[in-house]
Amino acid sequence: MHWYKYFFIITLGLLLGQGIFIGPIPVKASDTTMDLSVESITFSPTEPKVKDSVTVTIVIKNTGTANVTNSTSAKSIQYHVADFTVTNNVANSISRTPSSSSPLKPGETFTYTIKGSFTKSGSKTTFFMIDAGYLLEEYNENNNYKSQEIFVKPSEAEQNYMDLIAKSINVSPYWPLVGQKTTITIQGFCSNTSTLAVIGKPSYSFPGFTVENDVAKTVIPYPTENNPWTMLQNFEYNAFGYFTSEGSKLLSFTINPPSGYTDYNTNNNTVTTTVMVNPIFDLSAESMKVEQSTTTSSLVNLTANIKNKASAFTSVFSVKVLVNNSLVNTYSYSNGLIKNEVKTHKNTIPLTQFKIGSNEVKIELNEISGKEVNLANNILTTNFTVLAATSSAPLPNPPAVQPKPETKLETAPILPAESWLVQEKSLVSAVDQNLTNRLKGYILLQVQASGEAWYLEPLSGEKYYLKDGPTAFEILRKFGLGITNTDLNKIPVGIEKRFSDTDTDADGLSDTLEESLDTDPKNPDSDSDGYKDGIEIQNNYNPTKTGMMTIDTNLANRLKGKIVLQVQSLGQAWYINPQDGKRYYLKDGPAAYQIMKFLSLGISNNDLRKIAVGDF
């Protein structure tokens, strides 16, 4: 625009001494009446698709009152069409060129055309400007340009253009057993240029997995003409069945486009994951026989047949014997059973454990993996009747029911503890070193007396009387060995479900145990990995972060039966149970009581008095 069309003004603020300068401001200098205006921008076709041949028509009009004769200003143009390939010379497409011999009179028009095709679908903007070099003196410069929006549809090929993405594979249950009903869920996402009423057939590889359904028909939601997928759609497939073999399995699933459609990125169509399939464990208590000993009238013989009914080898299991729901003893078998092998368990029970009349005798089996498919056959009961004439001496009353942990242990003899120890020492006539070595580290329970508990200290080979929970806690801590947190974490954690304690978050770990493990007693999944803390501990996974715990079996075996103290923390005490090699938290007296109650080993008076008595 010419320089003389502007005046520079000084504002009133300058006159008032404010020093404020504003400019330049355009001011009408003369009554110029020529005016070129971009009137309209139109498209043909009006609803173009990608790659269609398109003509854009721009109409220019003289909206002034004087003739336009400047051909140069009429040919001074600027334009832009988004995502458009121009195929003609736009400057030469002018329908008429104003001149002195052929002026553009007021109200008359001429046109430009832009020809070509759009390269992408979606909303596109077209811009056009006349007299772009400001060569013409016009009344109004603001109508020299115009922009217009148009929506470009996908081409026929683009309408069948998609991106199928396989996102994840999840297996439920997380650790399936051989033969266990299992669901494999595949989640995916589809990005396409239009709605989709069909879906391709997926392909998959699930080694060792028997599929019981048509996976292709399980897609949710299932696309139809009345209920098509949107242009951005989440979906999932489900495979139902079971694994036929154990071990690590690599699962793979590929989502394929339907016929006639093109997937522009096939690198994300396949997803894989690895699942560990565990073997079946199934111990069965097949039969049990209870009868009075033919050689010793004061004893009762129990014989039970235990069978491994599963295909997998059962490594370690235990047998608990109960009379009238009172625990008599727990026996551990470390050699295991092969498929269909039968183990005959024999147990001698003092007659004093029974009452006159009918008695319920029960055995309970516990497979150490905790992954048995059938727990109903782990328990077997029978009745055994004791007649008054069975023994020449009157039978004692049945053993008292064990008290709750918060109460004191009601096992103290009539004599004071000091006198009781003196008496027990006098009854040890000779020490059986083989028996002592075999039972070192165990908590022993006198099944022929009032349930007195003793700890056979591994180093000295002497037994120490555990009068009650607080006394047990004090004695057990006395024999504690210092251990670093690093070494302690290499010993698996024991969970005894019979321990009486609060489990606020219902994750399988008591609040007391969570306190010692630094897990959150109010959050069942402390590390937010989708698995409860108790499940992770049982399977030797770290409940506070990803990955498994590093278990050192040799270290655990060396420390069996010992008490260890966390010297790098607050001196927390742990008992390494010699029966399973796991550590149990000794927080206080009640905790010590429960260990005495549930982790002890029954012993007769005769055998107990073959072990030396220690002084505390």
Q: Which two tokens stand for residue 302?
A: 């129990």
Give the single-character DSSP code of 49: B
φ, ψ at 515 (rounded to 5°): -60, -40
Are 36-152 and 158-277 equal in CATH topology?
Answer: yes
Tell me if 536 sits within 8 A of 542, measured CB to CB. yes
Beta strands in 119-246 (DSSP E): 122-130, 145-152, 161-172, 182-192, 203-205, 209-211, 232-243
Domain ranges, ordered by start, for the chain: 1-30, 36-152, 158-277, 283-390
Q: Which two tokens stand for residue 399?
A: 């053993």
Tell me if 264 sits within 8 A of 330, measured CB to CB. no
- Give the integer Cα–Cα distance in Å for 365 and 473: 29
Domain 36-152, classified CATH 3.90.1570.10, yes or no: no
Tell me if 352 sits within 8 A of 395, measured CB to CB. yes
Which CATH topology does 158-277 take? Answer: Immunoglobulin-like (2.60.40)
- Give the integer Cα–Cα distance in Å for 466 and 456: 10
Beta-strand pair 481-483/563-566: parallel
Q: Which residues lie across from 287 on neighbouring strands?
A: 305
Give the single-character DSSP code of 199: -
Residue closest to 251 by CA, chosen among 217, 203, 214? 203
**What was the pLDDT predicted at 133?**
87
Cβ neighbours, 10 Å, residue 499: 21
Could you tell me the mean pLDDT of each successive run of 10 residues in the chain, 616 residues long? 36 35 37 84 92 95 91 91 94 93 94 93 87 86 92 69 86 84 92 75 94 90 84 89 89 88 83 87 87 83 88 74 90 77 88 87 80 77 75 38 36 49 78 88 78 83 82 76 86 79 83 84 85 82 83 88 81 86 83 74 84 81
**What was the pLDDT predicted at 92?**
93
Residue closest to 4 by CA, chosen among 24, 22, 18? 24
Tell me if 303 sits within 8 A of 201, measured CB to CB. no
- Give the integer Cα–Cα distance in Å for 495 and 516: 13
Residue closest to 322 by CA, chosen among 278, 288, 276, 293? 288
**What was the pLDDT predicted at 106?**
93
Whole-structure pTM value? 0.36
From residue 569, alpha-carbon distances to 255, 494, 506, 542, 552 in Å are 53, 20, 27, 19, 21
**What was the pLDDT predicted at 123?**
78
Measured between its terminal Cα atoms, the distance across the chain in Å is: 110
Which CATH topology does 283-390 take? Answer: Immunoglobulin-like (2.60.40)
Q: To which H or E segment does residue 435 belong? A: helix 433-439
Beta strands in 548-610 (DSSP E): 563-566, 573-576, 583-586, 601-603
Beta-strand pair 122-130/145-152: antiparallel
Count Cβ neighbours within 10 Å for each residue of 28-45 and write b for 16 or more, e otherwise: eeeebebbbbbeebebee
**What was the pLDDT predicted at 25?**
35
Beta-strand pair 54-62/36-44: antiparallel
Contacts of 404 (CB under 8 A, 6+ apart): 500
Q: What's the residue count for the chain?
A: 616
- Give the integer Cα–Cα distance in Å for 146 and 124: 14
From residue 350, alpha-carbon distances to 40, 67, 289, 333, 449 in Å are 110, 129, 16, 22, 10
Residue closest to 28 by CA, chosen among 10, 12, 4, 11? 4
Q: To which H or E segment does residue 276 belong? A: strand 270-277
Tell me if 339 sits within 8 A of 349, measured CB to CB. no
